[in-house]
Structure 1
Amino acid sequence: MTSAATAIDPARKSLLWLVAIGFFMQTLDATIINTALPAMAASLGESPLRMQSVVVAYALTMAMLIPASGWIADRFGTRRVFFSAIVLFVIGSVLCALSVSVGQLVAARVVQGLGGALLLPVGRLALLRTVPRGEFLQAMSFVAIPGLIGPLLGPTLGGWLVQYASWHWIFLINVPVGLAGCLATLRFMPDLRGAVERRFDGAGYAMLAFGMVAISLALDGVSGMGLRQVSVLLLLVFGFASVVAYWLHAARRPEPLFSPSLFGVPTLSIGLLGNLFSRLGSSCMPFLVPLLLQVSLGYSPLRAGLMMLPIALAGMAMKRFATPLITRHGYRKVLVANTVLVGLAMASFGLTGPDQPVALHILQLLVFGAVNSLQFTAMNTITLKDLDGGMASSGNSLLSMVQMLAMSLGVAAASAVLAGYTGVFGLETAKQTLDAFQATFASMGLVTIASALIFWHLPAEVRAAHPAQPEVSGQG
């Protein structure tokens, strides 16, 4: 990271480090919790197979707040909002550590998500307005490095803390980092506001946010909340109706949150739908794999965390091959074929058993990490590549929202599928639990394979335009 930072104006180094650390906090916390879920469940008197709400609450809160992040920064200033985001994140972390029930923990994760949702968008906005255009790509590449380190470190650190301390420390370690971030924000973050005050589309935001929450709660209610079928059906109906109402509202409003004209760009429309349905399957893997390893195969938290390293390492190694592959074969061929490979890699975990060699587990994780990384890079770049300057910011926010929403829906859907299979196979023996996990992996793999049909509609001639085209979103 140092070599990248020295090439940038020294006056901006501190701001770059501040934004990078904020991004690191966000990505670390999104992954560190997965390995600790069984220990949390035991401490809070809950089944480890019903802890998905802890993950869903964080991702869903981030998805809800991202559409408003730009307006909030313009209205209240980048310094105040970034400072408040860190404070909320730290308060949420402390509340998580003090939780004595799953309900309290979910509520604390919402507070944490309110802070996490603002860290990257507001930090990126501050860089956009202070770094010269010629240095912006280099600056964003520097800031993106923690986005790769966080998922690499998170599961292992989480497993280590659970095994040698307690699960509470996966949240408490955010406190000193957050306090240092608050002091650095007051000193180094510029207080920037939007040049033009535009009226916030509160009605549109309420409809969109309610739709996302209702649909996620409906899926989560199938497995984790014990909602009756009628309640789930009502939530789904009201959720989808609210989303449809938003787009009807946006078509008539001069300055909506997301203009329907965005969907006049074919690559963006296909890219967003592909992101949503592809991630609906693959985003459940960081949640399901540590559970499988600990609940069904008897792995310790630390060993389960270490087993997640191959996914992150293979993902980082695959980044260098993504652009050459897309340049040579085009987006459609790469995404259709690779989506099928991602689904098959996921379904292969349906063959996992206690007698399977560890080397084969590692090979499965390496393959999944490589193809999943290629998937993210290709999906993110195709979604935004054809947007002009006026649409780029709005399109990027929409993509970030879809990514976090897909993570929330993916974990909720996988938990619902797992709950369904545990009802079929039972939970009395380890063999029955393993059967339920195996069927869940196979089913979620099929969901991912089905999303390849969306990418088939991409124009065959679309290829990577630049040899060094970066991955433009911070979430993939």
Structure 2
Amino acid sequence: MTDRARLIPLIVAAPLFLQNLDTSIMATALPSIARSLDVEALHLNLAITSYLLSLAVFLPASGWLADRFGARRVFCTAIALFSAGSALCGLAGSLGQLVLFRVLQGMGGAMMVPVGRLILLRNVPPARMVAAMVWFTVPGAVGRVAGPLFGGLIVTIASWRWIFLLNVPFGVLGVMMACAFVDDSHEPLHERFDLAGFILLSTGLVGLVGGLDTAGRGLVPQMVTFAFIGIGALSLLAYWRYSRRNERAIIDPGILRYKTYRTAVVGGMPLRIAIGASPFLLPLMLQLGFGLSPLQSGSLSVATAIGSLSVRAVMTSAIRRIGFRRLLIGATLLTGTFYACYGLFRPTTPHLLIFVVLLFGGLFNSLAMVTLNTLGYSDVPKPTMSRATALSSMAQQLSISVGVAFGASLLALTAHLHGGSAAHLTARDFSPAFVVVGMLTLCSLFFFVQLSHDEGAELRQR
């Protein structure tokens, strides 16, 4: 493999490293940020959901922008937006400012990864694609593993603000490397952007998730929460009807007619919501509930990422021997069980035991998700693959956003039922929340058991 063919995957994967690092670091640093900004730790879920929601809202526009203005130009602009948002987050003096700047970060992040993947497909010859994809996945994997530990280290020896400020030099380097090594040849796109569909879809997503994010926690008046949810639901309904009449709609829900794809997107939502809730709850439990330092919390939380990465060694053989349906059902059952087991942790639980349980929780969680994502596109025709990818990516980010909001609401509710408050969380407040998250995961089984036993048989032979 030539140096350039190896370098391009690393360049376009660098934003994936930044994104995964940023997300995993943020969770570990939540208690420290809350103390610095003088807000409740649970209110900081707004800083996570605003970023994830921004990703979901702007992601559908990334393909059109790349075709219209050139992939390299949009890629560099996206990195610059992400870096500028990171710098402003590091300077934020209030929760409102942090949320606003995280939205800016999300705008850049929404374009970085999909446009980077498009650059990879356009610049690497087909014969080199498998090796290129290996290099493409390495930085993101490293970011997931390093995030919790790196975040705990930064918060311990410096300030949480450096979590965001350190993104800036990496962003500048990424722009310089892209300008130097990535070609920008493209055919200009003259198709008009679906502005009406984008506005309806954005309003629906922001209203619905914004309402769920503020429900029952006194952040805004209750009528405002109901208004958010109502406007969001009506906008999504309006978009659904609009997309059925418009062949050029920015997102085509009609793709859900394909069974395995519908199973992956709709059936996988409870699983993905749980995946959003668990990483939000875990660092809070370890630090606020158990009294561990950010570094100790990060050292334990990294076990989930290690478990997730270890799946790569057994994934191919597991699919061939067990089959998609049985593997998906088994992995989902075990994921829900382990999430519920997190609720059995106590401040006196040996750290080695916590690490091992988190390791297996991450392993089975990743096993379920990789299986689901692999099977999901098996019956989608190639001409609609790009739209299917956009809808799936948007649904994934939306589910994780809802998961963070759901986790925060669960924790506020259990604290209230225990006679306390969200401002003073104790170890016992987390147990019911993790049990509910584990039970929610099992709701995906309703869709998975409907798959046929030979589903994806053609993929198992590859």
Normalising by structure 1, report the TM-score: 0.93
The 2-side partners of 1:459 and 1:245 are apart by 34
Relative to structure 1, the CA distance from residue 464 to residue 229 in structure 2 (aligned partners, 3 Å threshold; closer, same or farther) is farther
Q: Give how far 1:383 is off.
A: 1.2
C-alpha contact (below 8 Å) 2:56/2:393 kept by paired residues? yes
C-alpha contact (below 8 Å) 2:277/2:400 kept by paired residues? yes
Q: Give how far 1:225 is off.
A: 5.7
Q: Give how far 1:195 is off.
A: 5.3
Aligned to 1:331: 324
2:356 pairs, out of 352, 358, 363, with 363
Does structure 1 residue 100 correspond to structure 2 residue 93?
yes
Does structure 1 residue 459 correspond to structure 2 residue 447?
no
Secondary structure of the structure 1 residue equivalent to 2:268:
helix
C-alpha contact (below 8 Å) 1:332/1:462 kept by paired residues? yes
Q: Give how far 1:412 is off.
A: 0.6
Relative to structure 1, the CA distance from residue 459 to residue 93 in structure 2 (aligned partners, 3 Å threshold; closer, same or farther) is same
Q: Give how far 1:189 is off.
A: 2.3
Aligned to 2:370: 377
Provide structure 1 residue ranges, at least 5 long, that are not aligned to the other structure.
Answer: 1-6, 470-476
Deviation digits for residues 372-424 of structure 1 (CA, Å, limit 9, x no counterpart): 11011011111112223212221112111111111111001111111111111
Q: How does 1:130-169 map to 2 (within 5 A)?
A: 130-169=123-162
Q: Give how far 1:224 is off.
A: 5.2
1:49 pairs, out of 39, 42, 67, with 42
C-alpha contact (below 8 Å) 2:285/2:430 kept by paired residues? yes
2:413 pairs, out of 415, 420, 425, with 420
The 2-side partners of 1:275 and 1:331 are apart by 14
Deviation digits for residues 12-32 of structure 1 (CA, Å, limit 9, x no counterpart): 333222102122112111211
Does structure 1 residue 392 correspond to structure 2 residue 385?
yes
Aligned to 1:234: 227
Relative to structure 1, the CA distance from residue 90 to residue 321 in structure 2 (aligned partners, 3 Å threshold; closer, same or farther) is same
Does structure 1 residue 183 correspond to structure 2 residue 176?
yes
Aligned to 1:354: 347
Q: How many residues are aligned here?
A: 462
Q: Give how far 1:438 is off.
A: 0.8
Q: Which amino acid aligns with 1:328?
A: R
C-alpha contact (below 8 Å) 2:300/2:351 kept by paired residues? no
Does structure 1 residue 255 correspond to structure 2 residue 238?
no
C-alpha contact (below 8 Å) 2:340/2:436 kept by paired residues? yes
Q: Which amino acid aligns with 1:173?
A: L
Q: Give how far 1:223 is off.
A: 5.0
Aligned to 1:81: 74
Does structure 1 residue 68 correspond to structure 2 residue 61?
yes
The 1-side partners of 2:144 and 2:217 are apart by 26
The 2-side partners of 1:454 and 1:381 are apart by 16
The 2-side partners of 1:127 and 1:429 are apart by 46
The 2-side partners of 1:26 and 1:194 are apart by 29
Deviation digits for residues 184-242 of structure 1 (CA, Å, limit 9, x no counterpart): 12212222434543222111111111111111111111155623333323322221222
Relative to structure 1, the CA distance from residue 224 to residue 132 in structure 2 (aligned partners, 3 Å threshold; closer, same or farther) is farther
Deviation digits for residues 93-131 of structure 1 (CA, Å, limit 9, x no counterpart): 110111111111111111111111111111111111222
C-alpha contact (below 8 Å) 1:323/1:464 kept by paired residues? no
Secondary structure of the structure 1 residue equivalent to 2:451:
coil
The 2-side partners of 1:192 and 1:405 are apart by 33
Q: Give how far 1:466 is off.
A: 4.2
C-alpha contact (below 8 Å) 2:63/2:114 kept by paired residues? yes
RMSD, matched Cα: 2.0
Tell me the percent identity: 36
2:443 pairs, out of 450, 455, 470, with 450
Q: Give how far 1:45 is off.
A: 0.3
Does structure 1 residue 214 correspond to structure 2 residue 216?
no
Aligned to 1:472: none
Relative to structure 1, the CA distance from residue 56 to residue 225 in structure 2 (aligned partners, 3 Å threshold; closer, same or farther) is farther
Q: Which amino acid aligns with 2:302?
A: L
Relative to structure 1, the CA distance from residue 84 to residue 430 in structure 2 (aligned partners, 3 Å threshold; closer, same or farther) is closer
User: Greater shift after overlay, 286-295 or 218-227?
Assistant: 218-227
Provide structure 2 residue ranges, at least 5 long, that are not aligned to the other structure.
Answer: none
Aligned to 1:439: 432
The 1-side partners of 2:207 and 2:327 are apart by 34
Q: Which amino acid aligns with 2:264?
A: G
Deviation digits for residues 296-325 of structure 1 (CA, Å, limit 9, x no counterpart): 101100110111121111111122222322
1:292 pairs, out of 270, 277, 285, with 285
Does structure 1 residue 197 correspond to structure 2 residue 190?
yes
Aligned to 1:4: none
Relative to structure 1, the CA distance from residue 133 to residue 203 in structure 2 (aligned partners, 3 Å threshold; closer, same or farther) is same
The 1-side partners of 2:202 and 2:418 are apart by 36
The 2-side partners of 1:279 and 1:297 are apart by 26
Q: Which amino acid aligns with 2:182?
A: M
